[in-house]
A and B are shown apart, each in its own frame.
Chain A
Amino acid sequence: MSGTFVGMPAFPKAAHEAVGNATLRGNLRHATHTIRAKRAVAVAELDDWVELREAGKLIKDHTLRHLDRYLVQLEESVTAAGGTVHWAADADEANRIVARLVKETGEPEVVKVKSMATQEIGLNEALEAEGIRAYETDLAELIVQLGKDRPSHILVPAIHRNRGEIRDIFRAEMSEWGRPAPEGLTDTPAELAEAARLHLREKFLRAKVGISGANFMVAETGTLVVVESEGNGRMCLTLPETLISVVGIEKIVPTWRDLEVFLQTLPRSSTAERMNPYTSTWTGTTDGDGPQTFHLVLLDNGRTDTLADEVGRQALRCIRCSACLNVCPVYERAGGHAYGSVYPGPIGAILSPQLRGIQSEIDASLPYASSLCGACYDVCPVAIDIPEVLVHLRERVVQGGPVTRDGNKVVLKPAKGHAAERAAMRAARWAFGRPGALRTGQRLASRTRRLHPRTLPGPGKAWSGTRDLPAVPAEPFRDWWQRTNGGTTGKEAAK
């Protein structure tokens, strides 16, 4: 990864500042609770959720275990369908390739579909340095770009902004980038969306180069898939003459049929819809329809290092649905910026330190950005055991050990200045080593939950003064699992 956000303080400090911001906490709380409740309803519609989740996990695991073979197959299929495949070992190389491809078109600007991979490599800044302007076209990304801000959520990157702030940003900044905001713009979402429509349409209609990521790549057919809501994706994927897609090497599925699993689990986990408004698939180029030149840039940038860790590799199953963010009590209070990475929340806490290594203070602190409550694992549509990876990475931070960096095996020294975490780890290991003790602790917590105070007494008072204490679930996950036999009995299966 191209590094942490510049000047980013380590997670505890950034989180501390964020929780002091009442507007931010309010915006986040509203948003995460709304999506969380809707998701549960959307998931409950499918009686076979447990089986779909398991299939998704197995497909991704199998693909990762044979990634070399599928990468080669994908390259062949994309090439056969009229596309050109490029390989980028790191962010710099990917940026160089894209900048060169854009320059070859002679165009000074590009339109972009929201893509985490291009944010990860800092593509917009790299293009800017080459004199190419990149326009974000997703409404939330537009808000972030105009506000000279950073995204704070995978799905709704401007979740930390309320409508008043968005109106002010549009009024102040739109004219800098193109068509100005309409006179007398108010803060109703409909008017704000209309202003964005007018502002961006002039860019879409003249665009000659589009840049995207992809949600999935099918090795067997060479098909790329983009899932979206607004239609800005379709604009960027079909109106330009040249399309450049930058995609992480982990986004492969072996066959066309595998999409039947993810096109059911992704929308319901993500926007809590049966299906997102638009899904586009394309296989190379099609005569007379859409871009006539297609480039696929396959991005490593720390993914092979992550793959080398047998425990941590499961993070590469992630389909970026963002469900884990919306249930995470730490994310809800700290906000996405505190993670210092384009991948916030529980997935960010395990993915970023693996992609970037744990040398920096922020990356070493990320495995601690969790209460290990397990809610992220429960909702994850590909069953990534985030708590397991967190504990594994904490051990790496405090004890050191073998890791792979830039393809080389190195032995990490124990981190300095983590005495407190070392003590915490000893306690955690003690508990994890004794499932009985852990279970008793959790049961006790849920049985006494009515007695739990809203504010903590004594030294904890200041802490809880800026936090809403998490509610203890009525039934611990492991009890639910036992009672329902892993969700295979009764209606509970769909929860």
Chain B
Amino acid sequence: MSSRERILGRVRRALADVPPDDTPYGEAVARDYLREHGDRSVEETVELLAENLADYRAVVHRCGEGELPSVVARLLAERKAATVLVPPGLEEAWLAETDVARVPDRGESTAHELDRVDSVVTACAVAIAETGTIVLDGGPDQGRRRITLVPDHHICVVRVPDQVVSSVPQGLERLDPGRPLTWISGPSATSDIELDRVEGVHGPRTLEVILVG
């Protein structure tokens, strides 16, 4: 007998007490928890996102659509970045005012090559205000998962209010489980040494989020 059959057989025998007409999934789970917490206007939700991002030590910037290229250029300059990773579908205008050398997101690039790049600029799929989370889904303006992981500096652009939801349930609704997702709440952090929080063990040590709109 294969282990598959053995395990499934054991499961079935273990569940002999469960009646065949057991409550179906749709009725078994009471979902009387909230879809979002608190009563907020759209602007207040964006404000909460900014607050919670900052609380998790992301650096938050806000600007209008027209100012975005200059903000991106300034942040790269402040960081003295010499190279910046660029996902294939990133809006070209966002990098129009910087002369930092672009490195395209390519399948052939080795991890070592990515490790030599200073910064990365991406868009996002959705941002969750209550938890201060941005979610990337590998879309053309976000690129492969590794490009936001290996460089030490990540600039993420969130369109407000369109890409902002209040809560985790609302966020999941907007996401496609078929795509690989990365949920990011602040920069990489550890509390493994006497529970002292230290930012950046393996992921980017600096996360800058630009709220545009």
B188 pairs with A230, CB closer than 8 A: yes
Nearest CB on A from B6, distance (A): 5
B69 within 8 A of A: no
B10 pairs with A231, CB closer than 8 A: no
B145 pairs with A289, CB closer than 8 A: yes
A8 within 8 A of B: no
- Chain B residues, CB < 8 A from A51: 30, 32-34
B93 within 8 A of A: no
| Nearest-CB residue, chain B, relative to A140 | B192
A133 within 8 A of B: no
Given contacts A58-B28, A223-B177, A277-B184, contact A238 B146 (CB under 8 A): yes
A68 to B12 alpha-carbon distance, docked (Å):
7
Report, as a range, how many residues of chain B touch the other chain: 35 or more
| Nearest-CB residue, chain A, relative to B207 | A277
A288 to B11 alpha-carbon distance, docked (Å):
37
A65 pairs with B29, CB closer than 8 A: no
- Chain A residues, CB < 8 A from B187: 277
Given contacts A277-B189, A308-B13, contact A231 B183 (CB under 8 A): no
Nearest CB on A from B145, distance (A): 4
B172 pairs with A238, CB closer than 8 A: no
A51 to B30 alpha-carbon distance, docked (Å):
8
A263 to B112 alpha-carbon distance, docked (Å):
33
A148 to B138 alpha-carbon distance, docked (Å):
39
A261 to B28 alpha-carbon distance, docked (Å):
15
Count A-B pairs with CB separation below 8 Å.
Answer: 250
B183 pairs with A275, CB closer than 8 A: yes
Stretch from B60-68, B76-84, B197-205 forming part of the interface with A: B197-205
A260 pairs with B8, CB closer than 8 A: no
Given contacts A62-B25, A304-B11, contact A290 B196 (CB under 8 A): no
A162 within 8 A of B: yes
A193 to B203 alpha-carbon distance, docked (Å):
12
Stretch from A17-25, A116-124, A199-207, A472-480 forming part of the interface with B: A199-207
A290 to B179 alpha-carbon distance, docked (Å):
11
A218 within 8 A of B: yes
A407 to B130 alpha-carbon distance, docked (Å):
45
Please classify the interface of chain B as helix (H, G, I), strand (E, B), loop, or mixed, using the class held by over half of its residues: loop
Given contacts A48-B37, A259-B172, A281-B181, contact A62 B112 (CB under 8 A): no
B144 within 8 A of A: yes
A313 to B52 alpha-carbon distance, docked (Å):
38
Give A267-290 as 1s and 0s: 1 = Cβ < 8 Å from B's Cβ atoms.
100010111111111110010111
Stretch from A28-36, A388-396, A434-442, A449-457 forming part of the interface with B: A28-36
A204 to B115 alpha-carbon distance, docked (Å):
11
A223 to B177 alpha-carbon distance, docked (Å):
7
Q: In the complex, which of the residues B11, B17, B169 contacts A260, with contact meaning CB atoms closer than 8 Å? A: B169
- Chain A residues, CB < 8 A from B195: 30-31, 34-35, 156
Given contacts A67-B15, A288-B144, A289-B144, contact A88 B180 (CB under 8 A): no
| Nearest-CB residue, chain B, relative to A237 | B145
Given contacts A235-B149, A289-B138, contact A407 B203 (CB under 8 A): no
Nearest CB on A from B182, distance (A): 6
Name the residue in A166, A255, A283 with the highest tally of chain B Cβ atoms < 10 Å from its Cβ. Answer: A283
B146 pairs with A239, CB closer than 8 A: yes
B23 pairs with A47, CB closer than 8 A: no
Nearest CB on B from A219, distance (A): 10
A139 within 8 A of B: yes
Nearest CB on A from B71, distance (A): 24
Given contacts A139-B201, A280-B181, contact A68 B15 (CB under 8 A): yes
B3 within 8 A of A: yes
Nearest CB on A from B200, distance (A): 7
Give A235-265 as 1s and 0s: 1 = Cβ < 8 Å from B's Cβ atoms.
1011100000000010000111111110110
A143 to B191 alpha-carbon distance, docked (Å):
13
Given contacts A162-B194, A290-B144, contact A281 B180 (CB under 8 A): yes
A235 to B8 alpha-carbon distance, docked (Å):
33
A52 to B30 alpha-carbon distance, docked (Å):
9
- Chain A residues, CB < 8 A from B17: 310
A192 to B133 alpha-carbon distance, docked (Å):
27
B163 within 8 A of A: no
A66 within 8 A of B: yes
Name the residue in A89, A163, A271 with the highest tally of chain B Cβ atoms < 10 Å from its Cβ. Answer: A89
A179 within 8 A of B: no
A275 pairs with B182, CB closer than 8 A: no
Q: In the complex, which of the residues B14, B172, B194 contacts A404, with contact meaning CB atoms closer than 8 Å? A: B14
B190 pairs with A229, CB closer than 8 A: yes
- Chain A residues, CB < 8 A from B146: 238-239, 289-290
Give A167-204 as 1s and 0s: 1 = Cβ < 8 Å from B's Cβ atoms.
00000000000000000000001101100110011001
Q: In the complex, which of the residues B145, B177, B188 contacts A229, with contact meaning CB atoms closer than 8 Å? A: B188
B10 pairs with A190, CB closer than 8 A: no
A276 pairs with B14, CB closer than 8 A: no
Q: In the complex, which of the residues B132, B182, B192 contacts A234, with contact meaning CB atoms closer than 8 Å? A: B182
| Nearest-CB residue, chain B, relative to A27 | B194
A289 pairs with B182, CB closer than 8 A: no
Given contacts A68-B15, A238-B146, A304-B11, contact A193 B177 (CB under 8 A): no
A274 pairs with B132, CB closer than 8 A: yes
Nearest CB on B from A204, distance (A): 7
A189 to B200 alpha-carbon distance, docked (Å):
12
User: Top 9 closest A-B pairs, CB basis?
Assistant: A231-B203, A304-B10, A308-B14, A231-B202, A279-B183, A275-B131, A51-B33, A140-B192, A260-B169
Seed contacts A45-B37, A139-B192, A283-B180; 13 additional CB < 8 Å A-B pairs = A62-B28, A72-B8, A137-B202, A190-B198, A205-B115, A232-B201, A234-B182, A237-B145, A261-B33, A275-B128, A280-B183, A281-B180, A283-B177
